[in-house]
Amino acid sequence: MKKIISFLFIVIFLFTLTACGEQKVTEVTDENVAELFRPSLEAWQLFAGSAFYDIEKDENGDPVVYTYSDDTFAGESYKIITDITPEEIYAKKLEYCNTGTDEERAKSSFLSCFYEKDGELYVKGAFSGMASIYDLNSIELYNTEDDKYYILVDSYSNGIDSGYSSSNIFVTTLKENSILFIEDVLFTGDGVIEKDESEINEPDKRDYLGMFDKFSRSESAFEE
């Protein structure tokens, strides 16, 4: 009898522990917004869905660069070492953010970033130094209205050395799986906030996220 009671106690304990681990987030607050929004921002910001895969690197930890050419362009590329397809990468990206009104065109453009050779998957490197850089440590809950969460993030344009540019508002909704889904990004009008220098983080307090970071560093909100 004691063995049965002990067994039942263990089962109940494990069930309770599992249930607590799967507890869903039902509200976005000042305290949890940064943790919830970082994966969404990476999914939206990082080039060619690179938040969801790793690329081949050499013994120094630097990306291994390959070359490719097709009917219209030639350039650098990188081997994807994660077991994943371009369609799966795109599907994962769609879990976190809206890609635009013309979904068919958006998907076609996204998939054109990849190619296969000798059974290996590569991503083309169409890089530019003009992309915005976001400070992950500046994420804040700006407003809540009609089940939408308006999240403010500081941006730095044309490279880090150019300094603070502005702060953008991301319009999000909280999905049942606790993902903050990016519906829209406001780049004009009331969607752009100009902060005073005293309101932004000091340089050593910032955590920069650039569009092409996955091709130069390993940190990611999606890594274990």
pLDDT per position as a tens digit, 122-144: 999 866 556 789 999 999 999 99
pLDDT range class, residue 25, cuts 50, 70, 90: confident
Dihedral sign computed on CA atoms, order 52, 41, 206, 34? negative
205 has pLDDT over 50: yes
Residue 108's domain comprises 47-124
91 has pLDDT over 70: yes
Contact 116, 122 (CB under 8 A): yes
Which residue, 124, 150, 167, sits at the end of a domain?
Answer: 124
Number of domains in the chain: 2
Placement of tokens 């889904």 in the chain: 181
Residue 177 domain-assigned (yes or no): yes
**Is the same domain home to 120 and 148?**
no
pLDDT range class, residue 14, cuts 50, 70, 90: very low
Per the prediction, the chain carries an average pLDDT of 85
The CA distance from 91 to 120, in Å, is 20
Placement of tokens 């809540």 in the chain: 144
Residue 1 domain-assigned (yes or no): no
**Is the same domain home to 41 and 151?**
yes
Residue 6 domain-assigned (yes or no): no
**Is the same domain home to 39 and 54?**
no
**Is the same domain home to 86 and 190?**
no
**Is the same domain home to 40 and 147?**
yes
Residue 74 domain-assigned (yes or no): yes
- Token pair belonging to 15: 């069930």
Residue 7 domain-assigned (yes or no): no
Within 10 angstroms of residue 95's Cβ, the number of other Cβ atoms is 14
Q: pTM of the full predicted structure? A: 0.82
Instruction: Identify the CA nearest to 139 among candidates 155, 157, 158.
Output: 155
